[in-house]
Structure 1
Amino acid sequence: MDEASAAGSKQRRRRVGIIGFGQLGQYLYEEVCKQPGYEVVFIWNRSIEKMKDLVSEHLILRDLNDCSSRHPDLIVEVAHPSISAEYGMEFLKFADFMIGSPTALADATVYKSLLGAAQSEHGLYVPAGAFWGGQDIQKMANQGTLKGLTVTMKKHPSAFKLVGPLEEKLKTVLDKPLTLFKGPVRELCPLAPNNVNTMACAAIAAHNLGFDGVIGCLIADPNLESHVVEIEVVGPGQKGNNFSVKTVRNNPASAGAVTGKQTYGSFSSSLFGAVGKGKGVHLC
């Protein structure tokens, strides 16, 4: 095979490493295996036992420090925000990185480090997930016309995995909706790292407002059988007569599910869209 053919072959088969093998990680593994232009080169999970009998032994990666030896083109994290904080900079030295837990970027130090690492050869990709209209909001941010952004997420109490004061407040939910938090997304992310990735994605898209300017509202509603995401955008205009857009996304979800059913499909689309954009931070 000549050099041109070899290069074409490599381009046709994009090598993917998956970090995290919960329901979403398993779904992405199956979807990548269906695509002839892609191959999985490793899977890492905190519990190796969870992977046995589900994936081939040779795909199991036991130490994340060894992932470069598998020569991935794209590393996909769907495990926990701590992965990006600890390994994200290293990943970006040899591969594109899709961060499935963008709440990690609410930490200004982590965000600055990963942004810097993504300025060389490889890109940092942020999946849109349940964040509807992200590219339009990003365009407004680029133009400086985005004046306000509020993201409200409503879920059944069993769908939340919270820490600190929000965990205690969640215990007080009875038979009516309860607002658990409303304020800057930066403050919310460490209290609900598994639940508000949509809000983190919003803060990245709305970069002129950022994690401090984008407002997040978290509501526990025991009557819900879905995940509801409301996005309110405020643009230019005079007081009381501004450009505005409001969208409501209703995503069916089983009791206790952290991720809604339609978000799985969105994640796989993001994975296959995380290619060819070069250095920098990209919504996908």
Structure 2
Amino acid sequence: MATTTCSQKIGVVGYGHLGQFLVERILEDGAAIGLTLAFVWNRNADKLKGSVPDELILRDLSSFATRQCDVIVEVCHPNIVKEFGTQFLSRAHVMVGSPSALSDCDLNQKLRQAAGKSGRTLYIPSGALWGGQDIQRLNDSGGLKGLFIRMSKHPSCFRLTGDVLSDWTEDEGRRVLFSGSVAELCPLAPNNVNTMAAAAVAAGTLGFTGVRGEIVSDTALRDFHVVEVEVTGPGDFSVKTVRRNPASLGAVTGRATYTSFWNSLLVCKGHGGRVYLC
């Protein structure tokens, strides 16, 4: 007997490289797995012409509620999460591609409250974080004692506020740009440290202030981003992982992360009024 797939309507906010990837996958493969596009928004709507059907282009994000959505996917900028996050949650589940926004304690609390009030889920994609579910389980059991993450990339791959990297040269080698709390790091590199932000969500007892992060510029990393995670627990328990994510020069997001985001989207079926690492 044939089965009927219940279709989920997806709104995509942002049409950079990651947004384009998700939109293309939904348009090409979505029908077979029960995903359809409700809308696509980009700050520059002209960028959507010719690649997104006209009827799916949302020109004014404040009118998103006119499009019925089951899940809204933000892959744009933390400022969009700040401005629209609670409104999105009043209408749909939300997958936040810029979880660095949650380093703002007030916004973090407002989003959690909005999820609880609406009964909808605020999804945090793992992205380039390896072992996020294990970190969350250790945290939830009360055993997580420390978490450190180092992200190393070619300097062309960083998008930093201020002029921290304005003087880099190809022959300079390795330079530590920042080492400290993820809470302090997120405003410095909002587009680069979403992996750390996801880890801070998983490590809820430590939070953004207690999780330590380091970003490193390394001109030798022309083909990869490197993410190193060190977890410490009770007694002498510790885990260290090193993830090499293939990436082109100038790319903010490594290639393996695109597939990770797609897999996270497939998880967004509704997990109650809470924050959920996926």
Q: TM-score, normalised by structure 1?
A: 0.93
Q: Deviations over 1:22-75 (max 9, x none)?
A: 111010011122122010010000001100001110000011111111110000
Q: Which of residues 140, 143, 146 is equivalent to 1:142?
A: 140
Query: 1:35: which partner in 2?
Result: 30
Q: CA deviation at 1:276?
A: 2.6
Write the mapping of 1:180-219 to structure 2, written as runs, cut at 5 A: 180-219=177-216
Runs of 4+ in 1 over 3 A off after TM superposition: none
Structure 1 residues 170 and 181, CA gap change in structure 2 (3 angstroms): farther
8 A Cα contact 1:179 1:217, kept in partner: yes
Query: 2:19: which partner in 1?
Result: 25
In the aligned structure 2, how far is the partner of 1:66 from the partner of 1:170? 38
Q: Deviations over 1:239-275 (max 9, x none)?
A: xxx1000000001100000000000000000011111
In the aligned structure 2, how far is the partner of 1:96 from the partner of 1:123? 5
Secondary structure of 1:168 counterpart:
coil
Query: 2:45: which partner in 1?
Result: 48
In the aligned structure 2, how far is the partner of 1:218 from the partner of 1:171? 16
Calculate the aligned-residue CA RMSD, in Å. 1.3
Query: 1:125: which partner in 2?
Result: 123
Secondary structure of 1:179 counterpart:
strand
Secondary structure of 1:129 counterpart:
coil
| 1:70 correspondence with 2:67 | yes
Q: TM-score, normalised by structure 2?
A: 0.95
8 A Cα contact 2:155 2:165, kept in partner: no
When structure 1 is superposed on structure 2, of 171-180 and 68-77 the one drifting more is 171-180
In the aligned structure 2, how far is the partner of 1:217 from the partner of 1:168? 14
Identical positions, percent: 51
Query: 1:93: which partner in 2?
Result: 90
In the aligned structure 2, how far is the partner of 1:21 from the partner of 1:117? 26
Q: Which of residues 152, 164, 174 is equivalent to 1:168?
A: 164
Q: CA deviation at 1:168?
A: 2.6
Amino acid across the alignment from 2:125? P
Q: CA deviation at 1:170?
A: 5.2
Q: Say how many residue pairs are matched.
A: 270
| 1:236 correspondence with 2:234 | yes
Q: Deviations over 1:146-203 (max 9, x none)?
A: 0000000000000000012xx3345245421000011000000000000000000000
Structure 1 residues 27 and 172, CA gap change in structure 2 (3 angstroms): closer
In the aligned structure 2, how far is the partner of 1:126 from the partner of 1:207? 13
Query: 1:259: which partner in 2?
Result: 253
What runs of 5+ residues in structure 2 fail to find an aligned partner?
Answer: none
Amino acid across the alignment from 2:145? K
8 A Cα contact 2:154 2:249, kept in partner: yes
Structure 1 residues 226 and 209, CA gap change in structure 2 (3 angstroms): same
Q: Which of residues 126, 136, 151 is equivalent to 2:149?
A: 151
What runs of 5+ residues in structure 1 fail to find an aligned partner?
Answer: 1-7
Amino acid across the alignment from 2:191? N
In the aligned structure 1, how far is the partner of 2:168 from the partner of 2:140? 41
When structure 1 is superposed on structure 2, of 266-275 and 170-179 the one drifting more is 170-179
Amino acid across the alignment from 1:154? S
Amino acid across the alignment from 1:269? N
Amino acid across the alignment from 1:143? S
